Structure 1
Amino acid sequence: GCNNKSAENHDNNSSSDTNTSENKENETNTSENRDTKNKKQSDNKGQEKKNNDSNESHQTTDKNKSYLNNFSTEKIEYARVWYQLISTKNDLKGIRNVYVTKIPKGSKVNPQAQNSAVYKEDVVKLEAPMKAGGSVTYSSNGDGSINVYNSIPYKWESPQNSDYSQMDKITRKAIEDNVETIYINPHDNKTVAKLANKVKYNK
């Protein structure tokens, strides 16, 4: 009978071995959990820091924004476009006003021409009171960028002064060629505010 006993003991031992190895597995699990917990906390800290950073930068932009508080987003856009595209070429001081004409989609590119092509989107024309002051015709993409129609003149020549027989081709070319997408930078708000004051709507 001695042999049997030792065999039984042996069984018990082997079963207790498997238990301890299972416990070991559990231990590794808990340590993994601990790691993820710590990671979560440090993530939150990072998030808080991010929020604080953005608040600080927010305050400085607020000060700058106050210049533009009295203007509609539309006027601010016109002023920024004019500042970036025209005022770099022409001196601002000489310009009393910037005139805005909203041109709906489907309007003739050259209103004087029977056979003119039509705009395929809503566009805006900004112009100085005099030709020398320049003009810009563009459409807005709503994301800070605009499409500038570089081939649209300050004013189309009248039918008396130019050949209108090819005007369909000329106007189509004017809205298809030389259209440039430009990102409008948020320039110095003080200057933009001065310009926004000069924006007038054409009747």
Structure 2
Amino acid sequence: MLNKKIEKVKNEELKTTFTAKLILMKTMLDTQGQISALTQQQKEAEEEVNKALEKAKADTTKAAEQATGDDKLLLGYSDDQIEYARVWLTLIGVKPSELNAKTITAGTPLDSYDKGSATYPTDAIILYGGYSAEGQIVCTSNRNGTINVYPVPSHWQIGAEIANDPEKVRALTQDILDNVRVVNVDVRNPRDVLDVIKIQK
């Protein structure tokens, strides 16, 4: 009788141990499956990242090659020619029939038609198209990507009362000097810049 009870207890212990082992094995298998799934997801994510990096690198290389090729279009032209074209495109925006550039020496009256006019403090450049409707720009370069723009009218249309009074002419032209503004010059597309350089006189 005692032996049967001992046997029964042993069987219960074996059954419990076996069940515990089965549960542990199942848990381990489930964990292993999750690890495998996570590993696969990580691998796929890494592949996606690598593909994205390769594409970005290829796009950057292509863009750099394109930029380098375009920049070469301006080789052989002077800094002034390039700047004049960029200034015109920045401030006027459209290609003129031709682009003229003339130096205005320091001491030249802003209004050469009337006595008493203030004068240019430094040499300046006047850019103008083939005809007056295309516009004009009077400026000096700071040689750092910016220019000083003088708001000089293309036509001086002041009344006789002012024209005959040197003090009023001086005040009017001095106001222009006092309102010179600094403008950032856009680098612009080299092809557009080249188109304007080609029509410079």
Tell me the TM-score normalized by structure 2: 0.61
Question: Is this contact kept in 1: 2:110–2:120, CA < 8 A?
Answer: yes
* Identity between Structure 1 and Structure 2 (%): 24
Distance 1:114 1:162, change over 3 A: closer
1:114-133 aligned within 5 A: 114-133=115-134
Instruction: Tell me the equivalent position of 2:175.
Output: 173
Question: Is this contact kept in 2: 1:127–1:154, CA < 8 A?
Answer: no
Instruction: Tell me the equivalent position of 1:84.
Output: 90
Show structure 1 runs of 4+ deviating over 6 A.
158-162
Write the distance in 2 (CA, Å) between the matches of 1:81 and 1:115. 30
- AA aligned to 1:139 is T
Write the distance in 1 (CA, Å) between the matches of 2:129 and 2:155. 11
Q: Deviations over 1:173-195 (max 9, x none)?
A: 11112x21111121100000000
- AA aligned to 1:103 is I
Instruction: Tell me the equivalent position of 2:138.
Output: 137
Write the distance in 2 (CA, Å) between the matches of 1:197 and 1:126. 15
Q: Which has the larger radius of gyration?
A: 2
- AA aligned to 1:140 is S
Q: What's the Cα RMSD here?
A: 2.4
Query: How many residues are treated as equivalent by the alignment?
Result: 138
Q: Which runs of 5+ in 1 are unaligned?
A: 1-55
Richer in helix (by share): 2
Q: Deviations over 1:30-79 (max 9, x none)?
A: xxxxxxxxxxxxxxxxxxxxxxxxxx787554311221123211011000
Question: Is this contact kept in 2: 1:112–1:159, CA < 8 A?
Answer: no
Tell me the TM-score normalized by structure 1: 0.61
Instruction: Tell me the equivalent position of 1:33.
Output: none
Distance 1:107 1:58, change over 3 A: farther
Write the distance in 2 (CA, Å) between the matches of 1:195 and 1:126. 12
- AA aligned to 2:68 is D
Q: Which runs of 5+ in 2 are unaligned?
A: 1-60
Q: Alpha-carbon deviation of 1:116?
A: 1.1
